Amino acid sequence: MKIKSDFFTEEEIHLLHYGTVKVLSNIGIEFCDDMALEVFRGNGFKVEGRRVYISEDDLNNALKSITKTFVLKGRTIDDDVVVGKGKTIFAPGGGTVFVREGNERRSATTEDYENFLKLNQTSKVISIANPNMTEPQDMPIEERNIYRLVKWDLLQVMTYQANVSKPLRNFVKLKLTMW
């Protein structure tokens, strides 16, 4: 299946860049992570409280320093995803609470979650898995992350998007419990 990957014209890209630079330099962006704030401070960025201001020069210098391509590792070399080289990477969204089946809208279940994982794994278009595709409403919220990681581990081989807001949370809590 061929998917159009040129979503914007060159003019639209320049407008998007201009608007982004305006927001980053004039309004700034707030970071909750103290380590991130220290990295910005240490590299000479303007930091006020938790707000970081990024000038166009700062942005361009940062962009020059990054690699042009990198590999997201899957379980096997066939499941690796190369990011860069002009290729668009597709991944499912996350956090869906409801599922539509025909004309019926209902709460997502653990069965829906497993079905989405299977669809994702067999897709010819999606390159990256998302272990948080749905929020199964038929289990306690405190068990969902563990459940999703275990099921992802059983049903996926491709690389996946991680929740990095608290990087160790899922791994510290992870219990290899089978549902």
pLDDT tens for each residue of 139-159: 998 888 888 888 888 888 888
- Ranges of the chain with pLDDT below 50: 166-179
The span from the CA of 147 to the CA of 166, in Å, is 17
- Closest by alpha carbon to 158, among 128, 135, 138? 128
Q: Is the pTM of this model over 0.85?
A: no
So what's the pLDDT on residue 113? 92
